[in-house]
């Protein structure tokens, strides 16, 4: 009984965090549209960081530009898989970090998916001019940082038996 309550509580917190992260992403995009569209760039740190409005029809760094149908199909499939993993993952302390990583990936994917469905493009507005880095948004930060973190926790933090425990939890019982 305690396990089910703990699992429901964890999933509830995850849903609330996902919603808050999506709201933050959408608010920043709304502000970018209202304050940057058809205007000069807003320089925060000269030659380093600026806000630059861009409508991105591709994925990260404008890869697969114009492939909206592909994103419309793949994103829901990815989201279903991530939600399934989030729900089925063991609710033990050692997997808390992985839980957060999945939450941030979901929030980033949903944030950009909202743009793709409503606008046929994603609003990007953060630009590191110091290294001429591609323009990105808050949802991109969620996904990129989470995927990097996922790589490191799988390689350096979790042991093989931890990954096997997750794998077993994902199988139908």
Strand partners, 126: 51, 136
pLDDT of residue 63: 61
Phi, psi angle pair for 171, to nearest 5°? -75, 145
Question: One of 40, 140, 160, 162 is an active-site residue; which one?
Answer: 140
Find, among 162, 160, 54, 169, the residue nearest to 115 by Cα: 54
Q: What is the pTM of this model?
A: 0.90
Strand partners, 124: 54
Widest CA span in the chain:
58
Number of structural domains (the chain) is 1
Is the predicted pLDDT of residue 3 greater than 80, yes or no? no
Q: Find the domain containing 46 and state its range.
A: 2-170
Question: One of 115, 124, 160, 162 is an active-site residue; which one?
Answer: 124
| Model confidence pLDDT, tens digit, residues 67-98 | 677 778 899 999 999 999 999 998 888 999 99
Query: pLDDT grade, residue 4 (50/70/90)?
Result: low
Residue 91's SS3 state is: coil
pLDDT of residue 92: 87
| Model confidence pLDDT, tens digit, residues 59-68 | 665 566 666 7
Would you give the DSSP letter of residue 41?
-
Is the predicted pLDDT of residue 147 greater than 70, yes or no? yes
Catalytic-residue membership of 124: yes
| Model confidence pLDDT, tens digit, residues 29-60 | 999 999 999 999 999 999 999 999 999 887 66
Percent of the chain with pLDDT over 90: 73
């Amino acid at each position: 009984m305690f396990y089910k309550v703990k699992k429901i509580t964890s999933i509830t917190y995850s849903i609330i965090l996902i919603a808050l992260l999506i709201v933050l992403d959408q608010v920043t995009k709304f502000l970018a549209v209202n304050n940057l569209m058809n205007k000069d760039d807003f320089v925060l740190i000269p030659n380093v960081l600026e806000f630059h409005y861009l409508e991105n029809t591709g994925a990260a760094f404008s890869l697969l530009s114009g492939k909206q149908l592909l994103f419309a199909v793949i994103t829901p499939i990815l989201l279903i898989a991530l939600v399934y993993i989030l729900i089925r993952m063991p609710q033990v302390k050692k997997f808390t970090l992985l839980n957060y990583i999945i939450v941030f990936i979901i929030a980033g994917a949903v944030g950009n998916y909202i743009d793709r469905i409503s606008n046929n493009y994603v609003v990007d507005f953060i630009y590191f001019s110091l290294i001429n880095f591609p323009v990105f948004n808050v949802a991109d930060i969620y996904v990129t940082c989470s995927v990097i973190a996922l790589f490191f926790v799988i390689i350096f933090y979790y042991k093989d038996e931890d990954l096997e425990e997750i794998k077993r939890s994902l199988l139908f019982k």
